[in-house]
Amino acid sequence: MPTRIPVVEKILSANDRMAERNQNTLDQADVFAINIMASPGAGKTSVILKTLETLQGRLRLGVVEGDLASSIDAEKAAAAGLPAVQINTGGECHLDAAMLSDALPALPLSEIDLLLVENVGNLVCPANFQIGTHLNVLIASIPEGDDKPYKYPGMYRDVQALIINKIDLLPYVPFNMEYFRRGVEVLNPGLVTFAVSAKTGEGMAAWTDWLVERVKTK
At residue 188 the predicted structure's pLDDT band, cuts being 50, 70 and 90, is very high
d(CA 150, CA 155): 10
Task: Kindly state the helix (H) or strand (E) to which residue 137 belongs, with its residue range.
Answer: strand 135-141
Choose between 19 and 45: higher pLDDT.
19
Mean pLDDT, range 41-52, rounded to an integer: 92
Mean pLDDT, range 181-185, rounded to an integer: 98
At residue 90 the predicted structure's pLDDT band, cuts being 50, 70 and 90, is confident
On the question of pLDDT at 79 being above 90, the answer is no
On the question of pLDDT at 91 being above 80, the answer is no
Instruction: Tell me, rounded to whole angstroms, the distance of Cα 216 from its chain centroid.
Output: 19
pLDDT above 90: percentage of residues in the chain: 76
pLDDT at residue 157 in the model: 94
Does domain 7-216 fall into CATH 3.60.70.12? no
Is residue 33 within 8 Å of 114, Cβ to Cβ? yes
At residue 78 the predicted structure's pLDDT band, cuts being 50, 70 and 90, is confident
d(CA 111, CA 33): 13
pLDDT at residue 106 in the model: 95
Mean pLDDT, range 172-183, rounded to an integer: 98
d(CA 173, CA 112): 38
At residue 6 the predicted structure's pLDDT band, cuts being 50, 70 and 90, is low
The pairing of strands 192-195 and 84-88 is unpaired
Identify any residues that bridge with 147 across adjacent strands, giving them in sequence order: none
d(CA 192, CA 214): 12
On the question of pLDDT at 59 being above 80, the answer is yes
Global pTM value: 0.90
The mean pLDDT of the chain is: 91
On the question of pLDDT at 152 being above 60, the answer is yes
What is the rounded radius of gyration, in angstroms, for the C-alpha atoms of the chain? 17
